[in-house]
Amino acid sequence: MSLIKSTKAEKSTYKLEFSVDKATFDKAVSNVYHKQVGKIAVPGFRKGKAPRSVIEKMYGKGFFYEDAINEVLPDAFDEALKESKLDMVGQPEFDIVSIDDNGVVMSAIVAVKPNVKIADYLGIEAEKNVAEVTDEEIENEINTVRERNSREIEVTDAAAVMGDVCHINYEGFVDGVAFEGGKGEDYPLKLGSGNFIPGFEEEIVGHKVGEDFDVNVTFPTEYHAKELAGKPAVFKTTILKIKHIELPELDDDFAKDVSEFDTMDEYRADVKAKIAKRHETEAENRFESAILDILIEKLEADIPEAMFVAETENFVRDYDNRLRMQGLDLKTYFQYTGMTLDQLRESLRPQAEKQVKLRLALEKIAKAEKLKASKTEINAEYKRIADEYQMDVEKVRELIPEESIAEDIKVKKAVDLVKENAIIK
């Protein structure tokens, strides 16, 4: 088995021609014959006893060739690729050139990492705008905590008001006929939540426990059930229970209960500081994203299609894994959404292209700047991955080559280098 020739093709691809000698191929054909002979029926022979020559005479000389080629192809291609010294990316495309008395000659179209040029990557200019913290943001944050610390008080003699939780029975009718999905019993509806169609919750206000009344509303024209969209409806409604939400006073006792601070002023100042830090992080992320987008624009490379296809498939696998963590899978997701696998690929393709270009740019910068990954950094990254996925470190080492970890670290260092030298406009 050996490489015959390597020919440069278009867009960072090569055509490799490689051979498998006759002895190796004949042995593979013999192996396939012995594996399959038991399944082949030949008149005049017991099952599994027909000679190879008889089977080939009946079905053709090449009857076992396809499976034999599949048997020898992996090792033959690996050896040819090693001889070619090409840095392959994506999946190769194979073809049979010839099968004769000298053995087999095969070809493979191989995509390789392209030659990359990138200049002026230090001193990139990008905007960084950090939003001011508003009083409204502070109050919203505090009110969220306040609502989490509220308590419900059941009321029996007062009418419902916005903010109350009302347990109701209801049944909806359109043109006097009950419709599917329009009935509920002992449903806890928080008035003002917007969970029901517009106008419904407002109609509950003013009624008391035990009252039977009609709620008159009209379904929105864009309602998901088309048979109800835009139609007036009457809901026969009964209030079973009203619970008033009592919010704690915003005083020093509240600050002590929900934080490490003794006064409301200290607590409010801490909330403001945390929001400011969040704004800073968001601005930093936008700044980095803008820099990397400019970096991609500076990239010059003839990128093969195989790299984009491979990265798109990585994105699809990641998407599937995230769905599985939520108890779903792609098949179920497609049933719910009506989307197809090809449509998902199409939606993920722009992100995949961007990721491929960015990675190529950063790898080139890491090489140009002679960035290194120390043993300590590599070990720390293995531990981080192990902790994140709750795996044994040695198991992670088995799954991920050290070269890949080192390459990732160098890429991260390239990002840091570009950011550190960027100019804030």
Confidence check: pLDDT of 1 > 70: no
pLDDT at position 85: 92
Interatomic CA distance for residues 330 and 332, integer angstroms:
6
Interatomic CA distance for residues 188 and 296, integer angstroms:
52
Give the residue-averaged pLDDT of 375-386: 96
Q: Where along the chain do its domains lie?
A: 2-112, 116-150+260-302, 151-246, 305-424
pLDDT at position 48: 82
Average pLDDT, rounded, for the chain? 94
| Residue with the larger pLDDT of the pair 11 and 323 | 323
Interatomic CA distance for residues 187 and 368, integer angstroms:
65
8 Å CB contact between 239 and 209: yes
Q: What pairing do the DSSP bridges indicate for beta strands 125-126 and 423-424?
A: parallel
E-strand stretches of 255-392: 300-301
CB-based contacts of 404: which residues, under 8 Å, 6+ apart?
none
Give the residue-averaged pLDDT of 46-56: 88
Give the residue-averaged pLDDT of 122-139: 96
> 42 falls in which pLDDT band (50, 70, 90)?
confident
Half-sphere exposure at residue 129, Cβ-oriented, CA atoms within 13 angstroms? 2
Please write the tens of the pLDDT for every residue from 322-356: 999 888 889 899 988 889 999 999 999 999 999 99
pLDDT at position 325: 87
pLDDT at position 264: 97
Per cent of the chain over pLDDT 70 is 100
In CATH terms, 151-246 corresponds, of 3.40.1350.10, 3.40.50.11890, 3.10.50.40, 3.40.190.10, to 3.10.50.40
Buried b (16+ CB within 10 A) or exposed e, 305-319: ebbbbbbbeebbeeb
C-alpha pair distances (Å), 385 with each of 345, 363, 395, 397, 408: 27, 21, 11, 10, 12
- Domain at 305-424: CATH code: 1.10.3120.10
Cα of first residue to Cα of last residue in the chain, in angstroms, is 59
Confidence check: pLDDT of 408 > 70: yes
Closest CA to 229 of 246, 212, 241, 217: 217
Q: Show the CA angle centred on residue 311, arms to residues 309 and 317, nearest 5°.
A: 105
Confidence check: pLDDT of 98 > 80: yes
Please write the tens of the pLDDT for every residue from 205-259: 999 999 999 999 999 998 888 889 999 999 999 999 999 999 999 999 999 999 9
Confidence check: pLDDT of 101 > 90: no
8 Å CB contact between 304 and 93: no
Give the residue-averaged pLDDT of 88-94: 91
Q: Which CATH superfamily is domain 2-112 in?
A: Trigger factor ribosome-binding domain (3.30.70.1050)
Confidence check: pLDDT of 10 > 90: no
